[in-house]
Amino acid sequence: MFDTLHKKKFRNFFLLLLLTATLDKLDQWYDRSPKRRKIRREFVVAIYVLISFSFGLLMATRAGFYIFNIFDGYVCGAISLLIICIVQLATVLFAYRTTFSSWHQEWPPSQWPGQTFIRHISEVLKRRLTYIWVCWVIVVPIWLFGMLAIALRTIGPISYETFIYPLSFQIIGYILTSIAPLSILVYFIYYQLKNGR
Distance CA 17, CA 167 (A): 36
Per residue in 124-172, pLDDT (tens digit) is 888 887 777 788 888 888 999 999 999 888 888 888 788 888 888 888 8
Please tell me the distance from the alpha carbon of residue 190 to that of residue 130, in angstroms, as a whole number. 37
| pLDDT tens string 12-21 | 665 666 666 6
Q: Are 170 and 89 found together in one domain? A: yes
33 DSSP 8-state letter: -
Are residues 76 and 52 part of one domain?
no
Containing domain of residue 3, as a range? 1-58
Is 178 found in the same domain as 112?
yes
Distance CA 115, CA 121 (A): 10
Q: Establish how many alpha carbons lie within 13 A of residue 60's alpha carbon, considering only the half-sphere containing its beta carbon.
A: 6
**Residues 30 and 90 placed together within one structural domain of the fold:** no
pTM tops 0.85? no
> How many domains is the chain partitioned into structurally?
2
191 and 142 inside one domain = yes
Instruction: State the pLDDT at residue 2.
Output: 46
Whether 102 and 176 map to the same domain: the answer is yes
Whether residue 139 is found in the same domain as residue 98: yes
**Coil, strand, or helix at residue 166?**
coil
Domain identity same for 73 and 140: yes
The length of the chain, given as a count of residues: 197
Side chain identity, residue 194? K
Show the low-confidence residues of the chain (pLDDT under 70). Answer: 1-39, 41, 97-113, 196-197
